[in-house]
A = this chain, B = another copy of it.
Amino acid sequence: MTPDRVAAILDFLALADRLKLVERRGRIPLPDGTTRRENSAEHCWHLALVALLMAEEVAAPIDLARVLTMAVVHDLVEIEAGDSYAYDPAAQATAAERERAAADIVFAGLPADLALRLRAAWEEFEAGETAEARFAMACDRAQGFLQNVLSQGLAWREHGVAAPTTHPRMHPAMAVDPAFAALIGALYARAETGGMFAGAAG
């Protein structure tokens, strides 16, 4: 590697460090009974673990390296664009455009071949057309839902999210494969039993 290439990689890794400061709405339970917000780096790691566990549960074989690559890079644009809450229609309406502009900034410092490779993984995830992108999407949504279940639905109730509000986001994930239908179905059961959604009697 040339010194310039090394420097560009190190500078990108330094920029990427900021993903650890991008807070999501989902919360992590703490030992003292309180919670704190999850950040996007933690989310990406947890999503990758979901992918590892689900990789052999689905009917169609998937390319695990591509799925894990998407897990690692799919939220890097949030360094510039911030997290867009899944159940905030105003944020979602502009997310695609903001994230595309952010990608131009975030990947700009990398050597061209690396920028192309990482950006291609992000674009594959965003397009959601390949089996791997759909698998990664299902893992992404399952992880976000799980995080809400782990924190007793605190963010759902904070933001007035009732169960039906989550359906347009979760049903496509459940449709990816019966294994995801089972996994997410079980999460819904835990959420309903625990009265975790907004408006629940729980």
Q: Which residues of A contact B (CB under 8 A)?
A: 1, 3, 6-7, 9-10, 12-14, 16-17, 19-21, 28-31, 38-39, 41-42, 44-46, 48-50, 52-54, 56-57, 63-65, 68-69, 72-73, 110, 113-114, 117-118, 143, 146-147, 150, 178-179, 182-183, 186-187, 190
Contacts and interface: CB of A to CB of B under 8 A. Distances in A.
A72 B39 CA distance: 16
A58 to B, nearest CB: 10
A10 B142 CA distance: 10
11 contacts: A1-B57, A6-B182, A10-B187, A20-B38, A21-B28, A21-B30, A21-B31, A41-B42, A42-B42, A42-B45, A65-B65
A68 to B, nearest CB: 4
Nearest to A10: B186
A180 to B, nearest CB: 10
Q: How many copies does the complex hold?
A: 2
Contacts of A7: 186
A146 B10 contact: yes
A183 B45 contact: no
Contacts of A69: 52, 64, 68
A117 B12 CA distance: 32
B14 A186 contact: no
Contact of A72 (B45, B65, B179): B45
A8 to B, nearest CB: 10
A38 to B, nearest CB: 7
B49 A48 contact: no
Contact of A20 (B9, B42, B65): B42
